[in-house]
Amino acid sequence: MNKKGVSLWIEFVLLMGFAVALSIFLNNWMKDYTTETTQNIKDRHYSTELCDSVAVSIDGACQANSTPINLYINVTNRGNLRITKQILRIYDNLTTLANWEVIESTQIIKPARMKRISNISSLDSVGYIELVPVTAKGDLEIVCPEKKAMISNVKNC
């Protein structure tokens, strides 16, 4: 019996099996990579395009002297897209910014409209408020941090 000829066949089958397994791995990796890269490019495009049409301003803010503090913030949508969410960063002091909290408001503000947002803060006093607008395209939420609005003179109501 020729054992050398059998070992060549085993060698060939193992080499082909390794090549097939490697090609399946590379195919799956490339498919995932291209899908992820395409989604990232799409997200960046929508983010840039839509954030250019977003503009928001805080027209006034006051705090009620209660525990916890109740904030009333007048927000105006000055852009062309509706704002679906607002991310509020509330600071207790303008200079140190040591104590702060983040509150999300899901009020929808249509273009050229103003809404009053009421939120309860756990801080003792409010000195500075930042509002970051969020818009949507389908199921995709787009946060526009470069379009944030700020107010530092929070009055008592």
Task: Identify the pLDDT of residue 153.
Answer: 82
Judgement on whether residues 85 and 148 belong to the same structural domain of the protein: yes
Of the residues 11, 36, 51, which one is the last residue of a structural domain?
51
- How many domains does the structure of the chain reveal? 2
Sole residue written with tokens 């509706």: 82
Task: Identify the pLDDT of residue 108.
Answer: 92
Tens of pLDDT, residue by residue over 9-22, are 888 999 999 999 99
Judgement on whether residues 5 and 29 belong to the same structural domain of the protein: yes
How many helices (H) and strands (E) the chain has is answered by 1, 9
pTM > 0.85: yes or no: no
Judgement on whether residues 5 and 26 belong to the same structural domain of the protein: yes
- Domain hosting residue 108, numbered range: 56-156
Judgement on whether residues 80 and 38 belong to the same structural domain of the protein: no
Positive/negative CA dihedral, 93, 63, 124, 130: negative
CATH code at position 72: 2.60.40.3970
Burial of 126 (0-12, 13-18, 19+ CB in 10 A): buried
Judgement on whether residues 41 and 60 belong to the same structural domain of the protein: no
Judgement on whether residues 26 and 68 belong to the same structural domain of the protein: no
Judgement on whether residues 38 and 106 belong to the same structural domain of the protein: no
Judgement on whether residues 45 and 89 belong to the same structural domain of the protein: no
Judgement on whether residues 122 and 89 belong to the same structural domain of the protein: yes
Tens of pLDDT, residue by residue over 48-104, are 888 889 999 999 888 887 777 788 899 999 999 999 999 998 888 765 566 778 888
Judgement on whether residues 63 and 7 belong to the same structural domain of the protein: no
pLDDT at 28 over 90: yes
Judgement on whether residues 45 and 67 belong to the same structural domain of the protein: no
Q: Are 107 and 68 in contact (CB under 8 A)?
A: no
Of the residues 51, 72, 89, which one is the last residue of a structural domain?
51
Of the residues 51, 71, 86, which one is the last residue of a structural domain?
51
Judgement on whether residues 77 and 140 belong to the same structural domain of the protein: yes
